[in-house]
């Protein structure tokens, strides 16, 4: 890990109150200068094509070209707040790109869900980034105690956007959070979702990545109380030339919490590249932890590459269960033969097999419009590879 | 009336860099309404015949002809062959995760019949076909062959035979791995289709057991990639009594 020793005596830094581990970030700070400039050789950046980030890694983001559209049920308060006003509720960035993004943010899109509020109707935050200049934003989602809501973040446009998201779940809160990446082919996104869960809170965070040139989504979940649950689901379709990277970090810092990670991706076309890194840390005090992470990738054509790296760091012997599975496979010709031998044309057979591959994750998303968007895009992409 | 004609069929499989010849000149003709049994030891080439006719990419036809009602099957893709009226019940039906049996069956029937069946009559047809094969109604929601027992897989294959009603059905070791009760149910399903007179059945097996339930009109004995003996049902009885050894001496 780089920059590990830099934080301790600096004013603005937040040093974790527990001893450092291999997987936990070594530094969290709003001050980007505390983080070393990126070289691309860092462990957490080694897969990312820095040259294609259009300058997101350098900062100096503008305010033009970025728009937020927020809609939602009356029970939820939606506002744009001055960044300094809400800073104490924002989770400090833990890498340079996220910290540079924060420096550029003037207004935070704020979703405040009151305690006990229950809503079927989702909150939608549509984030559109356009133009050549890089831009940055922050979404703060606060779910009050025992509330139950759905929030959908939709990323659109052809711009380069560094987007940080803070998610705070009070005791017993339930939040379904979906982040859709459906940008134009030129779009670049570096997103950092940081979530903190109080006791008995339940977060289901879904990432659906379909568009863009380079998409890098970090999702970090920290349990701040007992009995929390984090279900992290993802589905992506990586087409020719696209780089789609998903990095998960679950910090079991409290006893008796449960995490379940399942990401599935299909890749097709030359230089399609997906990266999945799943880090789970079970700290010494986190007895009774149950965790499982899974990543499956389906490579549909030659020239595509899927990297899959699960990491499990366990510091206690008293876990309820901990496991991971990661596998990348080629398209199964025997499945195609079977379906075709029943008269189903090859293109239709491929469609069935690929949609079948995504079926369990799509079912677990639990947000109909999001699952539908996934299916529709997969069908559209597949039709390009017949 | 349909007719499958296999003439001087030679088939190889890739064996590393080499191509290994398996079928060495097979001649066989089946009419709809007839039931043929192809018998032989494991490794004699019976299954290769089934998969080559169905068009599995692993098998390469090096010479010969397969015609269905005069149409060149070998020039067709796998799915075109099925739509032309060919069906293969596989020995090891493949799992397709995330695809429900009901979705699969309806998609298949739609492709083969050329139009989507109307929903109500289709559900009735499916329900009756499943009941006749002792298949649990919950079966439709399960994924194709996923977690099926050996017996369930074979019954699912015969269910497809019943729904697709092909001109020619090749059943590859459909009897393997079945207990007596399951064998009886599966045989009943095969007979139901065979008795319609619309389907020609080619039953591939190395045991005579299933022939107690499904009466063949013709028996062909396979050894070393070709047919070495042919006859009526009495030939199966001879195999039951004397085994396959009597046929292997004919090797050149």
- Which residues on neighbouring strands pair with residue A251, listed in sequence order? A222, A281
How many other CB atoms are found less than 10 A from the CB of residue A368? 8
Q: Does A330 touch chain B (CB under 8 A)?
A: no
Rg (chain A; Cα; Å): 20
CB contact under 8 A, A349 and B54: no
pLDDT over threshold 60, residue A6? no
pLDDT of res. A271: 97
- For residues B151 and A25, which has the higher predicted lDDT (pLDDT)? B151
Q: Give B-chain residues touching A266 at CB under 8 angstroms.
A: none
pLDDT over threshold 50, residue A125? yes
CA distance B108 to chain A (A): 6
pLDDT of res. B39: 95
One DSSP character per residue, A61-118 reads -BSTTEEEEEE--TTSEEEEEEHHHHGGGSPPP-SHHHHHHHHH-SEEEEEEE-TT-B
pLDDT of res. B42: 87
> Any idea how long chain B is?
252
Indicate the residue of A332, A335, A340 with minimum beta-carbon distance to B79. Answer: A340
- Helix or strand holding residue A368 (H, E): helix A368-383
pLDDT of res. A10: 38
Superfamily in which the B3-96+168-248 domain is placed by CATH: P-loop containing nucleotide triphosphate hydrolases (3.40.50.300)
pLDDT over threshold 70, residue A146? yes
CA distance A321 to chain B (A): 24
- B135 token code pair: 């298949």
Q: What is residue A213's DSSP assignment?
A: S
pLDDT over threshold 90, residue B102? yes
Mean pLDDT score of chain B: 94
Which of A343, A355, A360 to mutate to probe the B interface, most B CBs <10 Å? A343
One DSSP character per residue, chain B reads --EEEEEEEEEEEEETTEEEEEEEEEEEEEETT-EEEEEE-TTSSHHHHHHHHHT-TTEEEEEEEEEETTEEGGGS-HHHHHHHTEEEE-SSPPPEEEEEHHHHHHHHHHHHHSSPPPHHHHHHHHHHHHHHTT--GGGGGSEETTT--HHHHHHHHHHHHHHH--SEEEEESTTTT--HHHHHHHHHHHHHHHTTSS-EEEEEES-SGGGGTS--SEEEEEETTEEEEEESHHHHHHHHHH-SHHHHTT--
- Cα B163 from Cα B161, distance rounded (Å): 6
pLDDT of res. A85: 96
CA A10 to chain centroid, in Å, comes to 29
- Cα A180 from Cα A126, distance rounded (Å): 10
CB contact under 8 A, A340 and B77: yes
Q: What digits encode the pLDDT tens for the residues A46-58?
A: 999 999 999 999 9
- CA-nearest of B219, B252, B225 to B238 is B219
Give me the percent of chain B exceeding a pLDDT of 90. 86
Residue B34 CB contacts under 8 Å (≥ 6 apart), including other chains: B200, B201, B217, B218
Dihedral (C-alpha) B209, B212, B217, B220: value to the nearest 10 degrees? 20
- Which chain B residue shows the shortest CA-CA distance from A358? B98
- For residues A7 and B220, which has the higher predicted lDDT (pLDDT)? B220
CB contact under 8 A, B79 and A357: no
Q: What digits encode the pLDDT tens for the residues B28-44?
A: 999 999 999 999 988 89
Q: What digits encode the pLDDT tens for the residues B180-213?
A: 999 999 999 999 999 999 999 999 998 888 999 9
pLDDT of res. A11: 41
CA A164 to chain centroid, in Å, comes to 10
CA distance B110 to chain A (A): 9
CB contact under 8 A, A342 and B93: no
Q: What digits encode the pLDDT tens for the residues A228-271?
A: 999 999 999 999 999 999 999 999 999 999 999 999 999 999 99
Triad A273, A275, A278: Cα angle to 5°: 170
pLDDT of res. A17: 52
For residue A203, is it left (φ>0), alpha (ψ between -120 and 50) or beta? beta
Average pLDDT over residues B228-238: 92
Q: How far, in Å, are A37, A231, A357, B156 from residue A133 at the CA level?
A: 20, 35, 38, 59
Average pLDDT over residues A280-292: 96
- Which residues on neighbouring strands pair with residue A275, listed in sequence order? A245, A307
pLDDT over threshold 70, residue B251? no
Contact by Cβ (8 Å): B190, B201: yes
One DSSP character per residue, B125-167 reads HHHHHHHHTT--GGGGGSEETTT--HHHHHHHHHHHHHHH--S
> Any idea how long chain A is?
386
pLDDT over threshold 60, residue B51? yes
Rg (chain B; Cα; Å): 18
Triad A28, A30, A31: Cα angle to 5°: 100
Work out the pLDDT band at B222, boundaries 50, 70, 90. Answer: very high
- Which chain B residue shows the shortest CA-CA distance from A347? B79
- CA-nearest of A63, A56, A6, A62 to A29 is A6
Average pLDDT over residues A145-154: 98
Q: What digits encode the pLDDT tens for the residues A308-367?
A: 999 999 999 899 999 999 999 998 899 999 999 999 999 999 999 999 999 999 999 989
CB contact under 8 A, A353 and B78: no
Q: What digits encode the pLDDT tens for the residues A57-99?
A: 999 898 789 999 999 999 999 999 999 999 999 999 999 999 9
Indicate the residue of B56, B88, B97 with minimum beta-carbon distance to A357. Answer: B97
Give me the percent of chain B exceeding a pLDDT of 70. 98
pLDDT over threshold 80, residue B64? yes
Q: What digits encode the pLDDT tens for the residues A175-223?
A: 999 999 999 999 999 999 999 999 999 999 999 999 999 999 999 999 9
Average pLDDT over residues B121-148: 95
Could you tell me the sign of the dihedral formed by the alpha carbons of B180, B184, B187, B189, in that order? negative
pLDDT of res. A205: 98
């Amino acid at each position: 890990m780089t920059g590990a020793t830099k934080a301790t005596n600096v004013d603005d830094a937040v040093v974790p109150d527990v001893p450092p581990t291999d997987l936990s970030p070594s530094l969290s700070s709003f001050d980007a200068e505390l983080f070393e400039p990126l070289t691309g050789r860092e462990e957490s950046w080694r897969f990312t094509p820095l040259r294609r980030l259009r300058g997101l890694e350098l900062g100096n983001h503008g305010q033009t070209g970025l728009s937020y559209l927020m809609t939602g049920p009356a029970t939820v308060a939606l506002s744009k707040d001055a960044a300094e006003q809400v800073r104490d509720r924002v989770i400090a960035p833990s890498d340079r790109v996220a910290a540079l993004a924060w420096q550029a943010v003037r207004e935070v899109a704020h979703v405040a869900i009151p305690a006990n509020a229950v809503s079927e109707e989702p909150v939608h935050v549509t984030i559109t980034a356009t133009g050549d200049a890089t831009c940055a934003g922050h979404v703060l989602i606060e779910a009050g105690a025992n509330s139950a809501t759905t929030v959908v973040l939709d990323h659109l446009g052809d711009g380069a956007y560094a987007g940080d998201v803070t998610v705070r779940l009070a005791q017993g809160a339930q939040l379904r959070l979906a982040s859709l990446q459906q940008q134009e082919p030129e779009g670049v996104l570096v997103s950092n979702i940081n979530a903190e869960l109080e006791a008995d809170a339940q977060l289901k965070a879904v990432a659906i990545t379909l568009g863009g040139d380079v998409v890098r989504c970090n999702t970090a979940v920290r349990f701040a109380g007992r009995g929390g649950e984090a279900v992290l689901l993802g589905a992506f379709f990586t087409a020719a030339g696209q780089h789609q990277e998903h990095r998960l970090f679950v910090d079991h810092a409290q006893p008796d919490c449960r995490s379940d990670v399942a990401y599935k991706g299909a890749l097709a076309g030359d230089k399609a590249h997906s990266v999945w890194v799943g880090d789970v840390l079970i700290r010494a005090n986190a007895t009774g932890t149950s965790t499982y992470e899974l990543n499956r990738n389906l490579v549909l054509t030659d020239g595509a590459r899927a990297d899959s790296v699960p990491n499990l760091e366990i510091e206690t012997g008293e876990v309820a269960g901990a496991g991971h599975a990661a596998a990348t496979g080629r398209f199964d010709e025997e499945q195609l033969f079977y379906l075709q031998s029943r008269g189903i044309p090859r293109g239709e057979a491929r469609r069935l097999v690929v949609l079948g591959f995504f079926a369990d994750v799509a079912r677990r998303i639990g947000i109909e419009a999001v699952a539908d968007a996934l299916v529709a895009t997969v069908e559209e992409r597949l039709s390009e590879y017949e | 009336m349909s007719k499958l004609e296999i003439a001087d069929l030679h088939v190889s499989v890739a064996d590393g860099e080499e191509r290994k010849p398996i079928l060495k000149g097979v001649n066989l003709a089946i009419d709809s309404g007839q039931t043929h049994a192809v018998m032989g030891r494991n490794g004699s080439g019976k299954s290769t015949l089934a998969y080559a006719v169905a068009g599995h990419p692993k098998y390469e036809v090096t010479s010969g002809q397969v015609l269905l009602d005069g149409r060149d099957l070998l020039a067709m893709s796998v799915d075109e062959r099925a739509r032309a009226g060919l069906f293969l019940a596989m020995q090891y039906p493949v799992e397709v995760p995330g695809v429900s049996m009901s979705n699969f069956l309806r998609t298949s029937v739609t492709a083969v019949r050329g139009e989507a069946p109307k929903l109500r009559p289709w559900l009735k047809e499916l329900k009756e076909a499943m009941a006749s094969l002792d298949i649990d109604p919950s079966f439709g929601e399960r994924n194709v062959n996923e977690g099926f027992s050996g017996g369930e897989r074979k019954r699912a294959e015969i269910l497809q035979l019943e729904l697709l009603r092909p001109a020619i059905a090749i059943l590859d070791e459909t009897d393997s791995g079945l207990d007596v009760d399951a064998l009886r149910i599966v045989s009943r399903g095969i007979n139901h289709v065979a008795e319609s007179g619309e389907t020609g059945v080619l039953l591939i097996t190395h045991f005579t057991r299933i022939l107690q339930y499904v009466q063949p009109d013709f028996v062909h004995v396979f050894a070393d990639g070709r047919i070495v003996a042919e006859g009526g049902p009495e030939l199966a009885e001879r195999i039951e009594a004397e085994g396959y050894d009597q046929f292997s001496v004919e090797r050149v």
